[in-house]
Amino acid sequence: MGHTLVTRFDEAGYERFRWIVGAFPANKIPYGRDCDREAANRILKHHVTVFHWGKARDGYYLKRLEDFRFQPCRLAVTGAAVMPGEENSLLLYLKVKPAEGFPEMVTGLEKVIQAPTTDFLHITLAVSKDHGEILALNRRMQETVKFPFLINVTGLDLYHIWKPTSYVRCYQ
């Protein structure tokens, strides 16, 4: 993979994710990604992936993104769910819907990059092969988190993915 473009949230959003996950040692990077999961987990904050592309298209998309102008927007977090992942793992994620300004921001991005963006909006909270831990965290969330809630998107962060994962820049 070449690069990924992901949401940046305000500090209140990140605080909320830390509270939701609690003391669970959550790695949010799915298995089956040709990367060092622990290193990538340390670098990438909780996010919604908006767009990603392979190394062969790096020059094209990086050049196109020079013309992108980000506008702050919001997302609605509507609930939590669990789905199967690679290598017999489970993913716990937050379901997300576009809110104030997000559809317009995505439309602007798609015009600049001349390609569709990601259509499965979600925030991965935890990935583990220990199904019991993921299911317990999901139960705790269902009992303690009040859905829906809004989160502020303050920018889009660009990361080089995967070997090694590194932060490139923020579009704000």
User: What is the per-residue pLDDT for 23?
Assistant: 66
Q: Which CATH superfamily is domain 3-171 in?
A: Cyclic phosphodiesterase (3.90.1140.10)
Q: What is the mean pLDDT of residues 57-77?
A: 95
Cβ 88 vs Cβ 107: under 8 Å: no
Has this prediction a pTM greater than 0.95?
Answer: no
Higher-pLDDT residue of 32 and 112 is 112
Write the pLDDT tens digit of every residue in 21-64. Answer: 886 767 887 876 667 778 887 888 899 999 999 888 989 999 99
